[in-house]
Amino acid sequence: MALALGLALPTLAGDRALLDIIGYSEDSRFLVFEEFGIQDGSGFAYSNFYAVDLLEDSWVVGTPLRMRASDEGTSLADLRQKALADAQPVLAELEISVPADVIASIGDGVPEQDGKSLRFGLPGYEPGTVRSDHELRLETFPTAAASPCIDWFAVEPLGYALTLTTGEEERLLHRDDTLPRSRGCPQDYRLYAVAVPFNSAEGEGAVAILSVYPFGFEGPDRRFLAVSLGL
pLDDT at 97 over 50: yes
User: Predicted confidence band at 4 (pLDDT cuts at 50, 70, 90)?
Assistant: very low
Coil, strand, or helix at residue 92? helix
Checking 71-75 for CB contacts under 8 A at 24+ apart, the result is 71/44, 72/42, 72/43, 72/44, 74/44, 74/45, 75/45
| Best CA proximity match to 184, nearest among 163, 215, 155 | 215
The enclosing H or E element of 224 equals strand 221-228
- CB contact set of 201 (below 8 Å; sequence gap of 6+): none
How far is it, in rounded angstroms, from Cα 177 to Cα 62? 24
- CB contact set of 95 (below 8 Å; sequence gap of 6+): 25, 26, 30
Q: What is the pLDDT of residue 200?
A: 87
Pairing between β-strand 169-175 and β-strand 186-197 as defined by DSSP bridges: unpaired
**How many CB atoms are closer than 10 A to CB 16?**
16
Distances (CA, A) of 89 to 83, 85, 211, 221: 11, 8, 27, 29
pLDDT at 91 over 60: yes
User: Predicted confidence band at 5 (pLDDT cuts at 50, 70, 90)?
Assistant: very low
Query: Buried b vs exposed e over 185-204: b needs ≥16 C-beta within 10 Å?
Result: bbbbbbbbbbbbbeebeebb
Q: What is the pLDDT of residue 12?
A: 55
pLDDT at 218 over 50: yes
How far is it, in rounded angstroms, from Cα 179 to Cα 184? 8
Question: What's the mean pLDDT in 91-96?
Answer: 98
Q: What is the pLDDT of residue 174?
A: 96
Indicate the range of 19-23, 42-46, 87-91 predicted with least confidence.
Answer: 42-46
Question: What's the mean pLDDT in 6-19?
Answer: 67
pLDDT at 112 over 80: yes
